Amino acid sequence: MKKIILPIAIVLLIILGLVVIWSMGRQSHTFLIGSWHADPSVAAGYKERFVFGAEFESERYNYHPSEEDGQDSTTGEWSVMGDSLVLFEKGKLFPVFMKIGELETETDEAVVYKEKIKIGDNTYWRYTEETNLWNREGDLIIE
């Protein structure tokens, strides 16, 4: 019996430690709320898009791959921890961590969208602070 209790106690302490670290590392991330596109314009089709929302106590996101890829959109919950965007994709066991840069102002006067941020390897421009620009399938909607 003692042989079983010790490993269980160690695992519970590790989990508790991770929860404490997680809660300490979370920061205000309202700067991400809105619709983001991986290109400052739309040429032949949409590139990758993120929609970050905040509904009640839960932060929800939609990710739409480039229209050229033909992949399905994904959805889940999101958070920012330190310099990482943490995505909890619906139906997946483990979260995805992506390095996130600082919110920047676009300096190119030819670009209409003035806020941009680096997420992973791509730069995204904020199209709007609204979260209803694209539907769950990634199609543009106008409300």
pLDDT in tens, 85-118: 999 988 888 899 999 999 999 888 888 888 999 9
Q: How confident is the model at residue 71, as a pLDDT?
A: 82
Q: Do the beta carbons of residue 131 and residue 139 sit within 8 Å? A: no
Among 122, 141, 108, 131, CA closest to 55: 131
User: Which residues in the chain show pLDDT less than 50?
Assistant: 24-26, 56
Q: How confident is the model at residue 66, as a pLDDT?
A: 86
Q: How far apart are the first and last CA of the chain?
A: 62
Q: How confident is the model at residue 129, as a pLDDT?
A: 84
Q: How confident is the model at residue 26, as a pLDDT?
A: 46
DSSP 32-80: G-EEEESSSS-SSS---EEEEEEETTEEEEEEE--TTT-PPPEEEEEEE
Q: How confident is the model at residue 99, as a pLDDT?
A: 95
Residue with token string 């509904």: 55
Q: How confident is the model at residue 24, as a pLDDT?
A: 46
Q: How confident is the model at residue 40, as a pLDDT?
A: 87
Q: Which domains does the chain have, with CATH numbers?
A: 28-128 (2.40.128)
Q: How confident is the model at residue 93, as a pLDDT?
A: 85
Side chain identity at 51, as an amino acid letter?
V
